[in-house]
Chains A and B, each alone.
Chain A
Amino acid sequence: MKKNLLKNNIVQSLLTSLICIILGMIVGFIVLLFINPAGAAEAIISIAKNFFCYNSTNMQLKYLGNTLAKTAPLLMCSLSVLFSYKVGLFNIGVAGQYVVGACACLYAALAWHLSWLPCMLLAILAGAVFGAISGALKAYFNVNEVISGIMLNWIGLYGTNMILSNVKEAASPYTYQLSAAGEQAILPTLGLGALFNNNQYVGLALPLSIICAIAIWVILEKTRFGYELKATGYNKNAAKYSGMAEKRNMILTLIIGGALAGLGGSLLYQTGYEQWQCTHSSLPAMGFNGIAAAFLGGLSPIGTIFASFFIQHITAGGTYVDKTMYCSQISDLISAIIVYLCGFVGFFKYAINTHIAKREARKGGNE
């Protein structure tokens, strides 16, 4: 009975993800120990606790709300990575697509005063265009999508800084507050905020991102289009041979991936949770954390929902470490270790399977 359970692919994925998380936390703890052994245990616990650091239920709810508000865009980014990866493309350009999405919706909201839906659609469009560039370069010019993605990330970042400088506050590098200058563009809260101690940042974003995750699952598993995409990912030449338009599929994949990431940008910045800082000289961590969440979620759309929450949970938890000894980037370190370990997932599964096979062989011999 137990053996059958271990053979199950979903159980194996879950197990390997747990191994990655535990090992990642242990490495993080060791690093903390090296920096300052006195507060290491306390620090790793605050990272794991995140909003539970607060005593009152109301505060806990409020900060759970904040974590959820940032989980939604993270989920979109990781869906973008996951979707492209299924087709054999590594969409590292997700960070840039997310940034141009944020750029489009903020500019539309602050300069043109459009309402929330057109702003969101523009963000999706901007992300899709960036994805399309990567896809076209890959399909027609054989440019590695990882390298073109990185180049587009920086082009997107500098471009966004330039464009959003037109709608920034005079005295600071930040764009105008959405609640003051573009209230019409704030996403509807659907009354969800009330559940989290009147947290105005929780709203449409969360259910929308979960719907997207389910939609991606349906597309990949239940439609002919998804089947074609996955076939292209497994073997490009075989897909072409059996009459699938492999070039079109590649471009379409990155367009969808870009659109998802662009929507992610809109889902964070249109809540008014953050203002864009026009002096950003490095890309927001959201895109790269999306990569972490996608792999941690075992590349399943449903798994990523939980993985995104976990990654955002420890990222937010990082801000609660004792700042007189450590810095919040310790969470980035743990996420990075988790991604590194996810590279070994194939090996972990191989080890589990050979272990089972050996045990079964031994049993067979005894009988």
Chain B
Amino acid sequence: MLLLIQYTILFASILILVALGGCFAEHSGVINLGLEGIMVIGALGGALMMRYLPGTTPAFLMILLVVLASTAAGVLYSVLLAVAAINFKADQTIVGTAMNMLGTAVATVIVKAINIAANPDDVSSTIQYVNAKTAFIINIGGFEFNWFMVLTLIALIVSYVVLYKTRFGLRLMACGEHPQAADSVGINVYKMRWAGVLISGFLGGLGGIVYITAGVSEWKFEYGVAGFGFLALAVMIFGQWKPTRIALAALLFGLFRALSNVYFGFDFLVKLQIPSGVYNMLPYIISLVVLAFTSGKSRAPKSEGIPYDKGSR
């Protein structure tokens, strides 16, 4: 039971971080379908940092550097989306999809190159970080408390305050609702959208590193992040683009995702003899059902996905 709670919170943390990232991008008016790729690149940045830092690094420094590495990687990668979608008015769906394909390909190529350089017989795309990972975890009576849970809570509160209580956040949201109106009162729409996309890169990258450290101590980068970026988008839609609701939605999705990790700990679930594949499918099935019921009265930002052109009315 404790294990289920632990994994639920952990997976919910990932979904909250990434969904908040999507939330910032969409409120500024850009649909970020490349979150999946951003997560992979963020995870790569963090994993490489963990690999190269000496094992003797103090825990605090370790956490700080790994978080910095993955968020920086995420922000850098999201520039690809910002340039294409904001400055070149490219099709955001194509660019997002390309970023997802590219993320996994780049990560695999880089990790394999590093592994081959270290040992010519090692052609795997796996990075191990058994020791480094211990810095993030504190054992409290069987419950593995993870510092990322705190970071997520902070991110959630900060996001709420920034979006609703600051001038920046309200202006950002104006750009997603009616960019022409925002422009007419002197807000630079392009700058705001850049900010939205870069913030989504920051949060997406952070979500990526949490994902690959959740319950495992090595990651095979060929796998990508198994559609988690898109699950986060589903959470965002279910949460109606509002941080507090996103958090609740993420807990629900996190629970179903956690079940596939720990279902064998429950006697009655084991007795049902449901194949493990069903548990793997569960989060995706639930999200389809939930989306079917919530998308109808969607409160999406009105101008999301439409490139802003100063000249058009």
- A residues neighboring B (CB under 8 Å): 31, 35-36, 90, 92, 137, 141-144, 146-148, 150-155, 158-159, 161-162, 281-282, 288, 291-292, 295, 323-327, 329-330, 332-333, 335-337, 339-340, 342-344, 346-347
Contacts and interface: CB of A to CB of B under 8 A. Distances in A.
A301 B233 CA distance: 32
B298 interface: yes
B295 A159 contact: no
Contacts of A295: 94
Interface in B211-235: 222-224, 226-227, 230-231, 233-234
Interface stretch (B150-158, B168-176, B184-192, B275-283): B275-283
Given A36-B113, A147-B291, A159-B277, A329 B93 contact: no
Contacts of B287: 147, 151
Contacts of B160: none
A154 B123 contact: no
B142 to A, nearest CB: 29
B295 A141 contact: yes
A344 B90 contact: yes
Contact residues of B: prevailing secondary structure: helix
B88 interface: yes
B288 A142 contact: no
20 contacts: A141-B293, A141-B296, A143-B291, A144-B295, A147-B230, A148-B288, A150-B227, A151-B231, A151-B285, A151-B291, A154-B281, A162-B275, A288-B101, A324-B116, A326-B116, A336-B98, A339-B94, A340-B80, A340-B94, A346-B91
Contact of A340 (B102, B233, B291): B102
Interface of B: 33, 80, 84, 88-91, 93-95, 97-99, 101-102, 104-106, 108-109, 112-113, 116-117, 120, 123, 125, 222-224, 226-227, 230-231, 233-234, 237, 275, 277-278, 280-281, 284-285, 287-288, 291-293, 295-296, 298
Contacts, number: 153
A233 B89 CA distance: 19
A326 B123 CA distance: 9
Given A141-B296, A154-B284, 20 more contacts: A31-B106, A35-B113, A36-B117, A90-B94, A137-B288, A141-B292, A148-B291, A151-B234, A152-B288, A153-B227, A155-B288, A158-B281, A159-B277, A282-B223, A291-B101, A329-B105, A333-B109, A340-B80, A343-B94, A346-B91
Contacts of A144: 237, 295
Contacts of A339: 94, 97-98, 101-102
Contacts of B224: 282
Contacts of B99: 340
Contacts of B278: 158, 162
A144 B90 CA distance: 19
A337 B233 CA distance: 24
Most chain B beta carbons < 10 A, residue from A281, A324, A343: A343
A155 B113 contact: no
Contact of A35 (B33, B94, B109, B281): B109
Contacts of A329: 105, 108-109, 112, 222
A292 to B, nearest CB: 8
Contact of B277 (A142, A162, A347): A162
